[in-house]
Chain A
């Protein structure tokens, strides 16, 4: 299994979001208050961002989106 999605973490607030590598828009950062381009100097940068930069963009697992299926909190959903 490979993945095109990683956690985004902010200090002290322990504040989470997700960074998704997409084919059309590159990295996209999803946070509770909305989405934004994910690369511009956010805490997702630095060495921690390297794995996702090296990965293939999301292909929705060929139709069976595994990240949405296994997401424990249900915060990842697939929309058209």
Chain B
């Protein structure tokens, strides 16, 4: 099958039973949306299934074809809870040999899923319950012996099924504004780890290469050089933010990166790293906007977002809560994170600039494209013959 594996991996955490089901080319091409295919899988496997998926173009040479998706149980009001998987996670997931992973039920003890080479394994890991997201990523990569493993995890907030949790991809947060970290907690999963060593076939690789190169060249000529997150949002244009900037970096196949890495604990102008945890990767626009609106400096905002990522807590909600209780600065954030109050999500207007609020979010994610990039580039969605 071209540009897809044609396979869905299904695991029932309760019985530990793993199965596979075929995904026909007809379904993939006809729907041309992993969001729609996920709806079909939900109707088959149940509404409480947690679904990871990739689009037809994920991992292709099309610019910013980096996106996968995570679909949680719909909200009580029926709202869809779908968040993107960006960076290298979407592509890596597709190269595991599965286009979709369906996770049913709940594990009997804290465990993580380990997915690679067409294999899904449930690994008991009670010691990781309560560990922060960064420690989970480090531990799983060390135990499985590969630093390229992509890890979706959460921290204490997700474990406690806090509605204002988030999932973290490796070390960074910003994709999940639906509290999907709590879905991991509800399934007693401390993480989902995957490594893609597979390959994708393309029906006419030369034509795909030529067409993708043409689109890329046109986009690069039009967009110019990215200034990182500042090129997507004015919140990252502040001088104190710029003064900490180490570099900008891109997700898979993205020619106009939105990710800005800020160094806190060593000289941002020093290219090499010596500190083990030198800083944080910013791409969470609403969280940064919220931090600045309550008076945090770029350094404080970065530290706050590091803390939230480690605990698997959604930073807009945490910052709002700290501010509403008159707790200022990073110490106030720490207190909220420790107290872990149950709270409802801030208003949707607080999430302007998030991936979910980009136009045509579901259309982009469905195809495997980054919605932030394609909103910037101008949404002339590539046709399947790319």
Interface string of A1-19 (1 = CB under 8 A from B): 1000001011111111000
Q: Are B209 and A1 in contact (CB under 8 A)?
A: yes
Collect the chain A residues with CB atoms within 8 Å of residue B209's CB: 1, 66, 70
Cα(A28)–Cα(B217), bound, Å: 27
A41 interface residue per 8 A CB criterion: no
A63 interface residue per 8 A CB criterion: no
What's the tally of chain A residues with a CB closer than 8 Å to chain B? Answer: 24
Collect the chain B residues with CB atoms within 8 Å of residue A16's CB: 249
Interface positions, chain B 229-264, Cβ under 8 Å from A, are 247, 249-250, 253-255, 257, 261
B209 to chain A, nearest CB (A): 6
Q: Are A72 and B145 in contact (CB under 8 A)?
A: no
Chain B CB within 10 Å — which of A12, A43, A73 has the most?
A12
Q: Are A1 and B138 in contact (CB under 8 A)?
A: no
B155 interface residue per 8 A CB criterion: no
B213 interface residue per 8 A CB criterion: yes
Q: Are A32 and B247 in contact (CB under 8 A)?
A: yes
A62 interface residue per 8 A CB criterion: no
Q: Are B271 and A13 in contact (CB under 8 A)?
A: no
Collect the chain A residues with CB atoms within 8 Å of residue B147's CB: 9, 11, 43, 46, 48
Instruction: Please choose the segment from B179-187, B275-283, B378-386 that sits at the chain A interface, where 4 or more of its residues have CB less than 8 A away.
Output: B275-283
Collect the chain A residues with CB atoms within 8 Å of residue B64's CB: 72
A59 to chain B, nearest CB (A): 17
Collect the chain A residues with CB atoms within 8 Å of residue B170's CB: 14
Q: A43-B147, A48-B148, A72-B253 are in contact. Are A12 and B261 (CB under 8 A)?
A: no
Interface string of B257-296 (1 = CB under 8 A from A): 1000100000000011100111101000000000000000
Return the contact of B278 from the options A7, A12, A72 (Cβ within 8 A).
A12
Collect the chain A residues with CB atoms within 8 Å of residue B279's CB: 13
B194 interface residue per 8 A CB criterion: no
A51 interface residue per 8 A CB criterion: yes
Interface positions, chain A 17-64, Cβ under 8 Å from B, are 31-33, 43, 46-48, 51
Q: Are B213 and A69 in contact (CB under 8 A)?
A: yes
Collect the chain A residues with CB atoms within 8 Å of residue B276's CB: 12
Q: How large is the interface on B (under 10, 10 to 19, 20 to 34, 35 or more residues)?
A: 35 or more
Residue of A nearest to B252 (CB): A72
Return the contact of B255 from the options A7, A13, A73 (Cβ within 8 A).
A73
Collect the chain A residues with CB atoms within 8 Å of residue B247's CB: 32
Residue of B nearest to A66 (CB): B209
Collect the chain B residues with CB atoms within 8 Å of residue A13's CB: 261, 273, 278-279
Q: Are A12 and B134 in contact (CB under 8 A)?
A: yes
B77 interface residue per 8 A CB criterion: no
Collect the chain B residues with CB atoms within 8 Å of residue A48's CB: 146-148
Residue of A nearest to B170 (CB): A14
Q: Are B146 and A46 in contact (CB under 8 A)?
A: yes
Q: Are A72 and B255 in contact (CB under 8 A)?
A: yes
Q: Are A51 and B257 in contact (CB under 8 A)?
A: no
Q: Are B273 and A73 in contact (CB under 8 A)?
A: no
Q: A1-B205, A48-B148 are in contact. Are A14 and B257 (CB under 8 A)?
A: no
Cα(A69)–Cα(B351), bound, Å: 37
A50 to chain B, nearest CB (A): 8
Q: Are B216 and A14 in contact (CB under 8 A)?
A: no
Interface positions, chain B 121-135, Cβ under 8 Å from A, are 134
Interface positions, chain B 159-218, Cβ under 8 Å from A, are 170-172, 197, 205, 209, 212-213, 216
B45 interface residue per 8 A CB criterion: no
B56 to chain A, nearest CB (A): 18
A24 to chain B, nearest CB (A): 26
Please, could you name 20 A-B residue pairs with CB atoms under 8 Å apart, sorted by A?
A7-B88, A10-B273, A13-B261, A14-B171, A14-B172, A33-B272, A43-B147, A46-B146, A47-B146, A48-B147, A51-B197, A66-B209, A70-B61, A72-B64, A72-B250, A72-B254, A72-B255, A73-B250, A73-B254, A73-B255
* Given A7-B88, A9-B148, A48-B147, 20 extra CB contacts under 8 A: A1-B205, A11-B138, A11-B141, A12-B134, A12-B277, A13-B278, A14-B171, A14-B172, A14-B261, A14-B281, A16-B249, A43-B147, A47-B146, A48-B148, A66-B209, A70-B61, A70-B212, A72-B253, A72-B254, A73-B254
